[in-house]
Amino acid sequence: MTFAFDPKSDLPLVLGGNVFGWTADRADAFAVLDAFTDAGGTQIDTADVYSAWIPGNSGGESETILGEWIASRNNRDRVFLGTKVGALGDLANLKADTIAQAVDDSLRRLQTDYIDLYWAHRDDADTPQEETAAAFDALVKAGKVRNLGASNFSPERLASALDVAKAAGLTGYVAVQPHYNLLETSEYEGGVGKVAEQHGLACWPYYGLASGFLTGKYRPGTDVDSARSGSVTKYFDDRGWRTISTLDAIAAKHGASVSAVALAWLAQQSTVLAPIASARNSEQLTALLDLRGLELSEEELRDLREAAA
């Protein structure tokens, strides 16, 4: 598909910044970011709320680390940067005043004067969509934001938001960010994915590795020390292990990591521009970088979907 924006990347991967200031400190984050861009990556995703859930944090920690890295490397023109509004404390809404304040806060932390892709982090049913659309459009007209995206919207509300913006001649969403991976297909493909296909919206799916399960590090009878390990046990069944087995076989055939094969499957779905995946250290990133140049055959794509069914 042809999308409304081009991140000019040689690597079909969005580096998730949710771990920066959480499981990755400043030094580790800088090392990961350097290795990612050295490998041809350009797309980076964060949010103002990352990582407000950590005791002692207030939000904006990930943006701050990213801003310090961009300033120290003087490479703003070589990264395609996305961040979000609508989930942080008193700014957890999509009111016009909130959007105006939040974008300036993010720009300050990121040490930049524009955001490539600004996301509504989640829908806000209590604010008229006309108000939200006008506020976002004002940011685009002011040059603070270049593209708009919608994360965690229902298909009905996404379609409505697109209609509202079009009717008023305002800048509309050009991207979606849903929960979508090899083991979680039905909700996206049967809902927001249809709207994205109809309107030519680019997809940056999150949880592309199913909270780490699709890295292959979880095996029957093994324990994994991970901040997310509690959220993957739902995949510990015949379907999950069958999917890992199929990933193993395809990864061995290509000489690639299991993670890269799982992301390649996602990257080759029709609406997906690039999946999001995070790495808390350079070792984890190395496995993701196998995605570069990895093309799965139609048979492999089908085998993976059948294994995960």
- Give the model's pLDDT for residue 99: 99
CATH architecture of residue range(s) 14-307: Alpha-Beta Barrel (3.20)
pLDDT, mean of residues 259-285: 97
- Give the model's pLDDT for residue 123: 98
pLDDT digits (tens, 9 = 90+) for 99-127: 999 999 999 999 999 999 999 999 999 99
- Give the model's pLDDT for residue 222: 74
- Give the model's pLDDT for residue 237: 96
pLDDT, mean of residues 22-47: 98
pLDDT, mean of residues 257-279: 98
Above 80 in pLDDT, residue 235?
yes
Confidence of residue 279 (pLDDT cuts 50, 70, 90): very high
Above 60 in pLDDT, residue 263?
yes
Of 190, 94, 208, 81, the closest CA to residue 145 belongs to 81
pLDDT digits (tens, 9 = 90+) for 31-40: 999 999 999 9
- Give the model's pLDDT for residue 226: 59
- Give the model's pLDDT for residue 1: 85
Confidence of residue 228 (pLDDT cuts 50, 70, 90): low
Above 80 in pLDDT, residue 224?
no
Q: What mean pLDDT value characterizes the chain?
A: 96
Catalytic residue among 50, 180, 207, 235: 50
207: annotated active-site residue: no
pLDDT digits (tens, 9 = 90+) for 56-70: 999 999 999 999 999
Above 70 in pLDDT, residue 227?
no
- Give the model's pLDDT for residue 37: 98
- Give the model's pLDDT for residue 211: 93
pLDDT, mean of residues 42-62: 97
- Give the model's pLDDT for residue 130: 98
Of 262, 251, 258, 276, the closest CA to residue 183 belongs to 262
